[in-house]
C-alpha cells in the first residue's frame, strides 16, 4: 500500500521538474518575442502575422502527433501563447510599456 502513494509522489516529482522546464522555456520565448515586437514596431510591420501563425500551428500539430500528444491540445496551448504575444506586440506598437518591474510577457 505504501508503494502506491510512493508511485504518485514520484510521478508528481517528475511533473514538477517538467513544469519548471516549461516555465523557463516560456520565459526565454517571451524574451525573444519581446525583441520581435520591438522590431515590428520599428519597421511598421503589423503585430500579428496570420500566415506565420498558421504555419506554426501546422508544424506543432505534426510534432505533437509524432510525440503522441493530442494535436488539438497542442494547438490550444500554442494559440493561447501566440494570442498573448500579439497582445503584447500591440502594446509595444502603441507605446504602452509591457515591461513593468522587470516582468515580461503579459497581462498585468
Closest CB to a copy of itself among residues 54, 73: 73
Least distance (Å) between residue 99 CB and a copy of itself: 9
Are 84 and 33 in contact, with CB atoms under 8 Å apart? no
SS3 (DSSP) at 40:
helix
Q: Which residues of the shown chain bind a copy of itself in the complex (CB under 8 A)? A: 4, 7-8, 11-12, 14-16, 18-33, 35-36, 39-40, 42-43, 52, 56, 59-60, 63-65, 67-74, 76-78, 80-81, 84, 102-108
User: How far apart, in whole angstroms, are the C-alpha atoms of residue 88 and residue 78?
Assistant: 15
Assigned C-alpha cell, 76: 490550444
SS3 (DSSP) at 100:
strand
Least distance (Å) between residue 83 CB and a copy of itself: 11
Amino acid at each position: 500500500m505504501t508503494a502506491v502513494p510512493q508511485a504518485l509522489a514520484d510521478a508528481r516529482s517528475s511533473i514538477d521538474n517538467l513544469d519548471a522546464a516549461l516555465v523557463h522555456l516560456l520565459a526565454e520565448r517571451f524574451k525573444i518575442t519581446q525583441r520581435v515586437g520591438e522590431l515590428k514596431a520599428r519597421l511598421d510591420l503589423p503585430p500579428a502575422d496570420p500566415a506565420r501563425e498558421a504555419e506554426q500551428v501546422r508544424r506543432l500539430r505534426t510534432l505533437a502527433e509524432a510525440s503522441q500528444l493530442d494535436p488539438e491540445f497542442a494547438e490550444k496551448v500554442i494559440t493561447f501563447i501566440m494570442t498573448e504575444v500579439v497582445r503584447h506586440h500591440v502594446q509595444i506598437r502603441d507605446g504602452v510599456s509591457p515591461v513593468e518591474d522587470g516582468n515580461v510577457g503579459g497581462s498585468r
